[in-house]
């Protein structure tokens, strides 16, 4: 008996294997995953991968290989600083719920809070992020992983997979965010240790990738 595999299996596997999150914006791939989720899950499980379907409407491989520590820390620190700023300013908005409007907002690079104080500049510098390296170290990787898309050259908009970071922040909700962000700031070459969670691992796009046919 011949098993009819999903039409987009190879393409979807390559995307997920590289660390990309597939969401509703990826119309064809997402629809094929949604229609054939059980089959995709079984095939990927046989290959040693765990397909996860997030409640916000996107798919990704759970766990996997770590990005280089500094790369993941750079992305995480960038996101946490932005979320902390949104949290601090939420009382200026009527609904006081920035996380609900996260996908509808367009963020201008010149308006970001990351480089407005010496403390934040110093924290980001420890993980190799400056205003000059922001695209290379943070924005481009996040775009490759399907977490945001650029709007022109100086703005960006989040896609639904950014809620993986929102989930991470909710787990920190009872902690002192500022303390966590500044941990390791003074003289620590490794930078702030903001991520220590195998479940949150992302595949490194520099890895040699397998194939499915």
The domain locations on the chain are: 69-195
Q: Which of 86, 92, 205 is nearest to 145 (CA)?
A: 205
- Could you tell me which residues are beta bridge partners of residue 59? 22, 53
pLDDT tens-digit series, residues 43-76: 999 999 999 999 999 999 987 555 567 788 899 8
CATH 1.10.10 fits 69-195, yes or no: yes
Reported as type and span, the H/E element at residue 148 is: strand 148-151
Q: Does pLDDT of 29 surpass 70?
A: yes
Q: Which of 171, 143, 165, 149 is nearest to 73 (CA)?
A: 165
- Count helices and strands in the chain by DSSP H and E runs: 9, 6
Report the predicted TM-score, pTM, of the whole model to 2 decimal places.
0.83
Strand order, beta sheet including 51-54: 22-23, 58-61, 51-54
């Amino acid at each position: 008996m011949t098993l009819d595999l999903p039409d987009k299996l190879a393409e979807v596997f390559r995307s997920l294997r590289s660390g990309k999150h597939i969401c509703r914006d990826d119309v064809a791939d997402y629809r094929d995953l949604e229609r054939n989720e059980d089959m995709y899950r079984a095939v990927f499980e046989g290959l040693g991968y765990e397909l996860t379907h997030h409640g916000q409407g996107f798919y990704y491989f759970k766990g996997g290989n770590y990005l280089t520590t500094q790369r993941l820390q750079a992305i995480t620190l960038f996101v946490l600083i932005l979320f902390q700023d949104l949290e601090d300013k939420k009382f200026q908005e009527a609904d006081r719920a920035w996380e609900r409007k996260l996908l509808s907002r367009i963020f201008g690079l010149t308006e970001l809070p990351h480089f407005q104080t010496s403390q934040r500049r110093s924290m980001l510098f420890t993980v190799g992020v400056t205003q000059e390296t922001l695209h290379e170290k943070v924005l481009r990787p996040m775009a490759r992983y399907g977490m945001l898309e650029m709007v022109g050259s100086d703005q960006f908009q989040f896609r639904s997979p950014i809620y993986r970071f929102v989930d991470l922040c909710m787990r920190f909700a009872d902690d002192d965010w500022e303390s966590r962000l500044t941990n390791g700031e003074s003289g620590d070459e490794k930078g702030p240790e903001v991520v220590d969670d195998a479940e949150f691992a992302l595949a490194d796009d520099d890895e040699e990738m397998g194939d499915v046919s």
